[in-house]
Amino acid sequence: MRLYPRILLTLLSSTVFCGWLSAEDWPQFLGPQRNGSTTNEIDVQTIVAGPKKSWGLKVGHGFSGPILADGYLILHLREGDKEIVESWDLVSGKHQWRHAYPTGYQDDFGFDDGPRASPAVSNGQVFTFGAEGRLTSLRLSDGKENWHVDTLARFKSDKGFFGLASSPLVAGDLVMVNIGGPGAGVGAFKVATGEVAWKLTDDEAGYASPVMSGTGSDALALFFTRAGLVAVQPGTGSLVLTRPWRSRQHASVNAASPLVSGTQIFLTASYGTGALLLNRTGNQVSDVWSGDSALSAHYATPVLVDGYLYGFHGRTESKPAFRCVEWATGRVVWSVDGFGAGTVVSTGKLLVTLLESGELVVLEASPKAAHELARTQVLGTGTRSPFALADGYLAARDPRQLVVLKVR
């Protein structure tokens, strides 16, 4: 009974993420479609009653989110002078394997010194990107290393304000990241060997992760670097287009990933930058609308549901609003001021948000009104890592612990 939807959704999604495992999986940053949207369901009454904790444990440092694929829970973290990739059985919590390597990363601003990027799982491999720019491929079955590339040393990348944070994007036989080095602002590596396939631009990396747009010969890899949008034809490494979009303030970042709908591309950033909707025609883009008053995301990528954007507006330290914005026009439909910062996922007509306060909040995905359906405390304060939703489980972490909750 479960084979049919798995096969169908795999075929529909193969151009976006080649090799992801099933509709119930969360195999990469922002989920199966890499846009924060999933067909995985939750039960609102379970959230209202307080979701049952399936298992949990103390974990090391990092903002990297958990990945759920083929029954594995994968987490990238920091303990002492090592970055660690670790695997547990999703249902039982039984430890499966652990891969560690040395790191000397220190955050210049005193924030967390762990990895920022979430892993990606594809065709039996786990790809991670550490805070010092180490791109690693491991075997999913046992955590043994296939290869690694020290991008910081090889491409003379700048670690930026808060280390490197591009969650790997796998498409076909390539794995792509924002590198941030001279002549290697963005790049692709061969999945099998780690060999450089191509590298382009001098852009600094920023904190957004790349996504795919289009299908077949029209497919593009979209990178939101510190300078703006960079679109590359992945098979050839040809630079198709660029669109500058960033704050004039030096101490600023682009952190939310691009969102794609048909021929249109949405970008958003904080620091007085705001939002921009572009329409792509061939190798050119034109502005549909832009401005700083609609949706200015500090770090969390918004979601798109039935023609409306839902996301966090404003800087984290100023307790952002949560908003509904019309995709086509940028019109703010409703706004919940002082909602707080966090991350958001859409499932059907529901919005699941996990706030920095550790509260799990479920709202209706409706432009009619901001209707909150459930709210419960599931983690402690300082929760910034993206969460994962798969097969009735929600996996999330704060700076101290990992929890797996039954939500269906």
> What confidence score (pLDDT) does residue 382 get?
95
Fold of 3-406: Methylamine Dehydrogenase; Chain H (2.130.10)
Phi-psi group of 37: left, alpha or beta (phi > 0 → left; psi -120 to 50 → alpha; rest → beta)? beta
Q: What is the pLDDT of residues 89-132, one digit of tens each?
A: 999 999 999 999 999 989 887 788 999 999 999 999 999 999 99
Q: Break the chain into its structural domains and give their ranges.
A: 3-406
User: Would the CA dihedral through 270, 131, 259, 68 be positive or negative?
Assistant: negative
Structure tokens at 382: 């300082």
CA distance 393 to 395: 6
Q: Which residues pair with 228 in a beta bridge?
A: 244
At 164, the amino acid letter reads: L
> What confidence score (pLDDT) does residue 13 get?
37
> How many Cα neighbours within 13 Å face the side chain of 246?
24
> What confidence score (pLDDT) does residue 21 get?
43
> What confidence score (pLDDT) does residue 111 get?
80
> What confidence score (pLDDT) does residue 160 get?
79
pLDDT-flagged residues of the chain (< 50): 1-22
CA distance 333 to 364: 14
Residue with tokens 């797996």, as numbered in its chain: 404
> What confidence score (pLDDT) does residue 19 get?
41
Give the chain's length. 408
Element at 171 (helix H, strand E): strand 169-171
> What confidence score (pLDDT) does residue 108 get?
81
DSSP state of 207: S
> What confidence score (pLDDT) does residue 387 get?
98
Q: Buried b vs exposed e over 355-393: b needs ≥16 C-beta within 10 Å?
A: bbbbbbbbbebbbeebeeebebebbeeebbbbbbbbbbb
Q: Buried b vs exposed e over 124-134: b needs ≥16 C-beta within 10 Å?
A: ebbbbbbbbbb
> What confidence score (pLDDT) does residue 229 get?
97
CA distance 162 to 110: 9
> What confidence score (pLDDT) does residue 65 get?
98
> What confidence score (pLDDT) does residue 208 get?
95
Q: What is the pLDDT of residues 19-54, one digit of tens each?
A: 444 457 999 999 999 999 999 999 999 999 999 999
